[in-house]
Every structure is written in C-alpha cells, then in structure tokens.
Chains A and B, each alone.
Chain A
C-alpha cells in the first residue's frame, strides 16, 4: 500500500485539516462584520414589476437592503460576455437569480427578514432547455450580446445576434462530405448529458470589506486574479487596491472558478461600508452554478478496414441564464470529442445557448465528460456495426505519440496504446461472477493547461528557511505542498524548511487561476525558476563573500558546501553584509514568450486517460453496480504519489456519480431537485474494492522534472466505459445519462 512514510513527508495542509485547525472562508470572522442573505428569484423568466423591501428593511437587526437599483449604475459584468447584472433589475432569468441582499447584524436576522421581501413578477415566455433555445421564434433570454475579447481567455465568445446562441465554434478539416460519400460505413448516434452539480462540500462563501482605501475580499475563489480584475472594473478601483485572499477552499471542481458571488458581496459592503459576509447554503450553491448539459449528434465514416475516414459532431450545450465561461466549455467539448485518433476529415460544431436555468460553469475537464460520453459510446457502436472488437477498432485508429489529432493542436505527447494496455492488464482475467463480457473500455485525450502566465517569488532566509509566494489556491489537490517540494528540491533544502504563504493577491504575484490542470506545470515551473534565481543569487553572494570560485560552491541544507567545508547561510550573510541579516529574493515567471515561444502552441500538454469498467447488472431492477475499475493516465512525473492517485480516484468517483445517478433536473425551468436531500452523490458504498489507479511517468512534460498537469482526465472515461460494458454484456445502449435503474430496466425489457 502506498502512503507517506512519515508525517514530516506528508502534506502540511492535511495536518491542519485532520485536526480541524484549517481555516476556510466559512470559518473567518472579520471585526465589525455584517451578514448578508440573498433574496432569490422564484420565477423562471419574468419582468420584475415591483420590488418591496420596506418590511425587510424595518425588521429587527437589519442594517440595509441592497437592491438592483442601487447597483444599476455599476453596469454588467462577465468573463466572455458582459451579460450579468450584480442584482437583477428589470427582469429575472432563472429561479435562484439574486434580486436583493438583506444585510443584518446576524445571519439569522438577515434570513428572517429576507422572507419579508415582496416581488411582483410578470411572467415572460420561458426558454426551459437547449431545444427550446434553438427553436424558431424562441423567446430571447438576452435581447442583445456584448462579447468581451481577450479579457479572461484568449479570443472570446462568438454569439449569434438575435438568437440564444452565445457562442458558436466551428472547426473543419478536410472534406467530411466527400469522405462520407466514399466510406464503406457511416454511423450516426445521438447522446445527451445532463447538468450536474459540483457539490463541493463547502458552499460558496465570501466576505468583502469595502473601505475608502480599497477593497478586500476573502473567498474560496479558484481564480483570485479573475475576481480581482472583474471587481476592479465594476467598482472603478485600481487593481492594486483590490486584494483577494483565499484561505483553504473546501472543494471547487470549477464551481468556484472564474467569478461567482464576489461582485454581489462586494456590492453589499460598498453599500453599507462595513465588512459583509455571505455564506450560502449548499442549496443556494445548487442555484449558483452547474455543469453545462449537452445534446450531441456524432457521425463517423469508416473504410472497409475499419479506418476512420471522417468524424462530425454537432454539440449543443445548455449554458443557463448567464454565459460565465460557457463559450470555452463549448470550444473544449468540440476539441475533446476528437479522441486520441487519426481522423483525416473533421467537422466539429459546438454551440452554447442561453436557457432560463441556473448558469452553467466550468466543471472538471470543461466540456470533456459530455464529449467523451458521446465519442466513446459511439466508438463501440461503430465497432459493433463493422464487426470489430472495441479494442481492435481503437488500435487501428489510435494516433501515435507525436502525431497530431488536429492540425492546430500540439502533437500527442503520450502513447495511448500504452495506457490502454495498462488498464487491460490491471483488470486481468474477467471475474467468473460477471462473465467475460461485462467490461467496457473508454479513452480520452483532452487539451488543458490554458493561459500560460504564471509568476512566483521564492525567498531564502538567513537560517535556510524558505518562503514561497504564488497564487495557486489550495483546494485539496495539494498544490501548496507541491510548490514546497519543488522549491525544496531546487534549493536542496529540506521539505520542512519551506513555507508556502496563504494565497493573497496582496503578496502573491500574478497567476491566471487554479484550474485546467495548469498549476503544477505553469506555477510549478515559475516556482522552480524563482528557486533557481534565489539559488544563483545566494551562490553569487557566497562566492563574493567567501572569495571563492562560484563553480566550487553548492547549496546544501542550511548553507553552502565549499572546498573548505560547510558555511551556513548565516555566516555568508554576516560576511557579506557585516550583520547577521538579510535574504535573497528569487523571481520566476512563465509566459507565452518563455522558452523561445515553445509554450505558445495549445495545449501545453495533453491530459489523457484510459478507463476500464466491469459491472454487475440486476436485471430485475436495472441497477448497475461497478464491480471493478481501472484507470491510467500519463502524468509525466509524479511529485506526490498519494495525492496524485487521490486526484484520479476522486475524478473517477465523481464521474461514477454522473454515470449512474446525478442530474440537476429542471421542469419547464423550475429546479426539481436542488437540495442535498434530493440530489445524491456517491458514498463509500458505491466505490468498488477493486479500484486501480495507474500513473505513467516518462518525465517528458513541460513542468518541473517533466511533470504534466493531471487530476481532470480521470473523470472522462468512466461513463462510457460503464455504458460500453452494459452494451457488451446485454446488447443494450442507453444514450442519455445518467444510467438510472429505470432507463436500464426499460432498455433490457425492450430488448427481450
């Protein structure tokens, strides 16, 4: 069993966490703090005819009530489209949209008074789902579009005027129509993937303190720089006057990425000029964001040998009432539906549309699970249609290391055949209980590692202790310990001598954000460069102070090895500065101009996954049970084995949730199950004993020691692997996730 050998090697954050000492945004108490409670729309799509907050304002303990009219002059915000008001003013676009914030001296008083707010709605025609959004003559969720260019991502949204389409992406390679005309078989399928809730255990919580001299926000935000940029523009504050502090974050998975409740909390503090805390309930967070649901048509043309000639996909994503980063989700879905295959002709179209439902958001491997669900179920269907085994069909079409799957994407930096072999090997012979057939395979190649802009500072102190300042957020992935390890290795100091500062834009240099599997590579390389810079400065100082040749010196724990023996950092500083004081400050950065522009091509590295599932099906109820599972990923280099494995285990089990039962449901736009009682996630009971997580290392990634990013890929293969097992064993194909007992039972019955 793999584990840390001693506590001194283990992640320092995990020691804070097991003792209950770890501080999260929900645990903070800022002196003078008031409490906000958000009043939310109960209407799906409506004009606000009247808003009466008089009774709430007069309620005991209430200090003020923030309304749309108070913030109308601040305008709208967004990441790819400026589509979002801080509070709804004239109309509401989904059930759950913030309409007002009651600010009181206790959370209880605010919550009680919120019930006194009266809203008079005039219903508007609804756009309940993506089909309705695209229907001719559909009502418009937004009357016009204002896209932002190069604001949060490179490029921006490509909306279609006069429609609910807020982004359309099209990629064409070769000539699909001609290839289909010449093909031996053309096979088309339709799939769907529901909206899914992130279910980070810590609900969205933020505290804002708006003062004359600037704004401080404490939030469990994954993208502090994004929050800083958006609120600085909204309130007209210089970036240097906006400080974002991120304590430990109780899970995010993309649900706390970009910007969420921070503008609202900042506006509440701006109104009352005191610190205001909004701690959402988990039910509120279910009305805050969710994964984009998808409807996908996918078509593949193959020749007589089973070689794929062409693939086309039409992907429609339900982006909810506000775009957030849904345009990127759509573009990535189109990239991630290709798979690790050589396909000469492609036509990939993805559209993200507005609907009157909870806004969509990034969620672990954005667009990936939706795309790979369709792509890899479809692969098995095509294989069956042409009489090849799923493994053989894939082997014939796999792209080799170094091959491009699309001309504008970096060549594959891994060997998918190797990963496929590893999961098959790990599963070994089939269990007698399930028979040889109840197994399914799925592969995925996704393009993470976006926005290669990172910075870090590494400070080496006179006593050999080290301070690292960088902006990656400790959200459970162990990134702070990873940065400590990189700094320790580079400076040749003990792991325990490194302290990583809590994430705070006031002390940490710019980084784009924590997501897209980018931190280990982009920020990790920045920390490595900063540590190297500090090492160089230290050695230069020592060479001068000790009158030694620089090449004869080396860093060792606590000091410098010289030909004459050990000299402590104390001694070196003392000699150099005449007093036992000082430090060296190393600076490191990574950006698209680094390494001669080698990081410019997208993706920065490939994130890959192979998964194989073996299932049991109760034919009387349709219930699927995962008996065994294996996943493999090429991660370049493992920096912290148990944490890296834990990332992929967690990703797989999250995927198991959306495979078997998770869906955030809406009926005509009304949320049906937006409560922890009604929305279930996997428990210990759902996870099989036999669970293999394989990490492949070839030390060939762009990060420190050849690391690549990881932690998202493993969510991709599990749903199609399980569905392919069902198909292999019973010959039934369920096209719409989740694979609930009812759907499976119906499919089994229709077959017999």
Chain B
C-alpha cells in the first residue's frame, strides 16, 4: 500500500529532526518507531487515558490521535525531553519520592502533564491540579500519592525549568 508520503521537519526534545512518513502516520508511532523514543505509551489509543501525552508547541496533546503531520515545523517534547542528562527533574523526583509510581505505564504521561501544569500554574491549587490531570488515568495508585507529589511541588518554587534542573 503506497500511501502518500510527506516530509516533516520539527524539533524533538530540542533537536532538529526530519522524517519522511506516510501521511496518516500518528505522532505516537513516529516518535516510538521512527525515533525509538519509547517512553510515551500506547494504552487506550482513543484519547482517553493520557499515557501517550506529549507537548506540542507547549500544549498537551494525546499523541495517539495526533497526526505526525501536525508536528511539522513545531516543537515536540516527550518524557525523554523532560529527563535531565543526569538525575531527575523535580517532577520526576517528587513522583519517585512520594511512591506515586507503581506499574509506571501511566507515568510518562503524568510527568509530561504535571510539568505542563506547573509551567502554567506554578502554585496550582487542588482545583487546578484536578482539572489539569483528570485526563490522565492511573489504574494502580488510586491517585493519592500522585496528588501528594504534585502538591509538594506546587508553590514550592516559582516556575519550573526541568531541563535546567540537574541532580546527581
């Protein structure tokens, strides 16, 4: 089957990349299969669960229902891009220390969504936290510790620059 192919140029986690893909390729498949970044997960495949959450030009998207073509000329950030070269980002560290990670399949999506939340609302209150994260499902934790981890971050420091935050 020779679907029309398209050429894409975009930044992936801050790096200029290009790819030629069939026009119906999904962003999640492009990132996982072509670029081998498998942190973003496919679960519901229907924009329900948030396991595939990425940032596209600073906005949250479900990459399982976003066309790769939509990334053309834009900036894509995945969990790998939020991970410092050494150590963990503040968000990652808080999730680990609070025991907010069990099977971990939802976790990359949460890392992206929580990072985005704190960029928008560094001092997010509970209402904002709940509104922002209700699109991310977790079947393991019951959310109690995820909520605790996010609360510990909200308001602890103004702004958040996970890429700059390094820890050894």
Tell me which residues across on chain B come within 8 A of A509, comparing CB atoms.
none
Asked whether, in the complex, the Cβ of B147 is within 8 Å of the Cβ of A19, the reply is no
Q: Is A14 an interface residue (CB 8 A)?
A: yes
Give the interface segment out of A249-257, A451-459, A611-619: A249-257
Residues on A with beta carbons closer than 8 Å to the beta carbon of B101: 11, 13-14, 17-18
Query: A15–B103 Cα gap in the complex (Å)?
Result: 12
A-B contact pairs, 9 of them (CB 8 A): A17-B103, A20-B37, A20-B79, A26-B42, A250-B103, A281-B45, A476-B103, A476-B104, A645-B99
- Choice from B44, B134, B148 contacting A676 with Cβ under 8 Å: B44
Q: B117-133 interface mask toward A, CB cutoff 8 Å, 1 = contact, 0 = none?
A: 00000000010011001
CA distance A17 to B145 in the complex (A): 15
Is there contact, CB below 8 Å, between A17 and B42?
Answer: no
Query: Is residue B111 within 8 Å, beta carbon to beta carbon, of the partner chain?
Result: yes
The answer on a CB contact under 8 Å between B142 and A675 is: no
CB-CB contacts of A635-656 with B at 8 A, as 1s and 0s? 0000011110111011111100
Residue contact A249 to B39, C-beta cutoff 8 Å: no
Binary CB contact string for chain B from 99 to 121 against chain A (1 if under 8 A, 0 otherwise):
11111111110010000000000
* Chain A residue at minimum C-beta to C-beta distance from B132: A684
Report B-chain residues with C-beta under 8 Å of the C-beta of A24: 41, 105
Which one of B49, B111, B133, B134 lies within 8 Å of A18 (CB-CB)?
Answer: B111
Q: From A9, which residue of chain B is reached at the shortest CB distance?
A: B97
- Scan A178-205; emit 1 where CB is below 8 A from any B CB, else 0: 0000000000000000000011111100
A687 contacts B137, CB within 8 Å?
A: no
Interchain CB contact under 8 A, B95 and A18 = yes
Q: Specify the chain B residue showing the minimal Cβ separation from A249.
A: B103
User: Besides the contacts A3-B99, A22-B104, what 6 more A-B pairs have beta carbons closer than 8 Å?
Assistant: A20-B79, A201-B139, A642-B98, A649-B145, A654-B139, A685-B130
Alpha-carbon distance A26/B80, docked complex (angstroms): 17
Q: What separation, in Å, do the CA atoms of A475 and B42 have in the docked complex?
A: 17
Contacts of B39-97 to chain A: CB distance below 8 A: 39-46, 48-49, 51, 78-80, 83, 88, 91-93, 95-97
**A200 B80 Cβ-Cβ under 8 A:** no
> Given that A201-B49, A201-B105, A642-B99 are contacting pairs, would A282 and B143 also be in contact in the complex, using a CB cutoff of 8 Å?
no
- In the bound complex, residues from chain A placing their C-beta under 8 Å from that of B4 are none
Q: Which of B37, B91, B104, B146 has the most CB of A within 10 A?
A: B104
Q: What secondary structure prevails in chain A residues at the interface with B?
A: loop
For A1-38 the 0/1 string (1 means CB < 8 A from B) is 10111110011011111111111101100000000000
Q: Which of B98, B103, B133, B142 contacts A202 (CB 8 A)?
A: B103
The interface bits of chain A over 238-264 (1 if a CB of B lies within 8 angstroms of the residue's CB, else 0) are 000000000011111100000000000
**Chain A residues, CB < 8 A from B18:** none
Query: Whose C-beta in chain B lies nearest to the C-beta of A686?
Result: B143
Q: Are A675 and B137 in contact (CB under 8 A)?
A: no
Q: Tell me, in angstroms, the Cα distance from A691 to B143 when the chains sit together.
A: 11
CA distance A710 to B149 in the complex (A): 23
Alpha-carbon separation in the docked complex, A201 to B38 (Å):
15
Interface residues on B, range: 35 or more
> Within the assembled complex, what's the spacing in Å between the Cα atoms of A199 and B135?
15
Q: Whole-angstrom distance from the CB of A184 to the nearest CB of chain B?
A: 42
Distance A683 CA – B130 CA, assembled complex (angstroms) = 9
**What is the bound-complex CA distance between A641 and B147, given in angstroms?**
17
Q: How far is the CB of B160 from chain A (nearest CB, A)?
A: 15
Contact present for B1 and A112 (CB under 8 Å): yes
Say yes or no: is A677 at the interface (Cβ < 8 Å to chain B): yes
Inter-chain contact A20/B78, CB cutoff 8 Å: yes
Shortest distance between the CB of A309 and any CB in chain B (Å):
39
B141 touching A649, Cβ below 8 Å: yes
- Of B103, B129, B138, most buried by chain A (CB within 10 Å of CB) is B103
Report if B152 contacts A (CB, 8 A): yes
- Across the interface, do B145 and A250 meet the contact criterion of CB distance under 8 Å? no
Cβ–Cβ contact B97 & A687, under 8 A? no
Q: How far is the CA of A16 from the CA of B95 in the complex (A)?
A: 12
Is residue A392 contacting chain B, with contact meaning CB distance below 8 A?
A: no
Tell me, in angstroms, the Cα distance from A248 to B92 when the chains sit together: 18
**Interface residue? A477 (CB, 8 A):** yes
CB of B101, distance to nearest CB on chain A (Å): 4
Q: Which residues of B contact A682 (CB under 8 A)?
A: 142-143
Tell me whether A476 and B140 are in contact (CB under 8 A).
yes
Residues of A within 8 A of B88 (CB): 7, 15, 18-19
Contact of B134 among A61, A477, A645, A685 (CB under 8 A): A685
**Residue on B nearest A108 in the bound complex, by CB:** B1
Given contacts A20-B37, A676-B46, contact A652 B142 (CB under 8 A): yes
- In Å, the complex CA distance between A646 and B147 comes to 12
Contacts of A109 in B (CB 8 A): 1
Contacts of B136 in A (CB 8 A): 684
B139 lies within 8 A of A649 (CB): no
CB < 8 Å neighbour of A14 from B42, B91, B95:
B95
Q: Determine whether the beta carbon of A13 is less than 8 Å from that of B104.
A: yes
| In the complex, per-residue mask of A271-287: 1 if CB is within 8 Å of any chain B CB, else 0 | 00000000001100000
Most central of A17, A249, A478 by chain B CB within 10 Å: A17
B116 to chain A, nearest CB (A): 15
B92 touches A650 (CB 8 A): no
**A650 and B126 contact, Cβ closer than 8 Å, known pairs A7-B93, A15-B96, A251-B105:** no
A162 touches B (CB below 8 Å):
no
Q: How far is the CA of A156 from the CA of B73 in the complex (A)?
A: 62
Q: Are B99 and A20 neighbours in the complex by a CB distance under 8 Å?
A: no
Cα A647 to Cα B139 with chains together (Å): 11
B163 CB → nearest A CB, Å? 13
Alpha-carbon gap, A691 to B147, bound state (A): 12
Residues in B with CB closer than 8 Å to A19 are: 39, 79-80, 83, 88, 92
Which 5 A/B pairs are nearest by Cβ-Cβ distance? Answer: A20-B39, A642-B99, A17-B104, A476-B103, A250-B105
Find the residue from B39, B146, B148 having the highest chain A CB count within 10 A: B39
Chain A nearest CB from B77 CB (Å) reads 12
Q: Are B144 and A649 in contact (CB under 8 A)?
A: yes
Cβ A18 vs Cβ B44 within 8 A: no
Name the residue on B nearest A27 (C-beta): B38
Q: What residues of A have a CB within 8 angstroms of the CB of B51 in the complex?
A: 201
Question: In the bound complex, do residue A650 and residue B79 qualify as a contact, i.e. CB atoms below 8 Å apart?
Answer: no
Q: How far is the CA of A24 from the CA of B148 in the complex (A)?
A: 26
Partner of A17, one of B40, B45, B107, B139: B107
Q: Are B126 and A689 in contact (CB under 8 A)?
A: yes
Let me know if A20 and B103 touch, CB within 8 A.
Answer: no
Question: Among the listed B37, B83, B96, B142, which residue makes an inter-chain contact with A650, where contact means beta carbons less than 8 Å apart?
Answer: B142
**Please, which residues of chain A bring their CB within 8 A of the CB of B108?**
17-18, 20
Looking at the assembled complex, report how far the CB atom of B41 sits from the nearest CB atom of chain A, in whole angstroms: 7
Partner of B41, one of A11, A18, A202: A202
Closest-by-CB residue of B relative to A640 is B99
Q: Closest CB-CB distance, B78 to chain A, in whole Å?
A: 7
A474-493 CB mask vs B (1 if < 8 Å, else 0) is: 01111000000000000000
| Residue of A whose beta carbon sits closest to that of B110 | A18
Q: How far is the CB of A248 from chain B (nearest CB, A)?
A: 6
Q: How far is the CA of A689 from the CA of B144 in the complex (A)?
A: 8
Given contacts A19-B79, A642-B98, A691-B144, contact A282 B130 (CB under 8 A): no
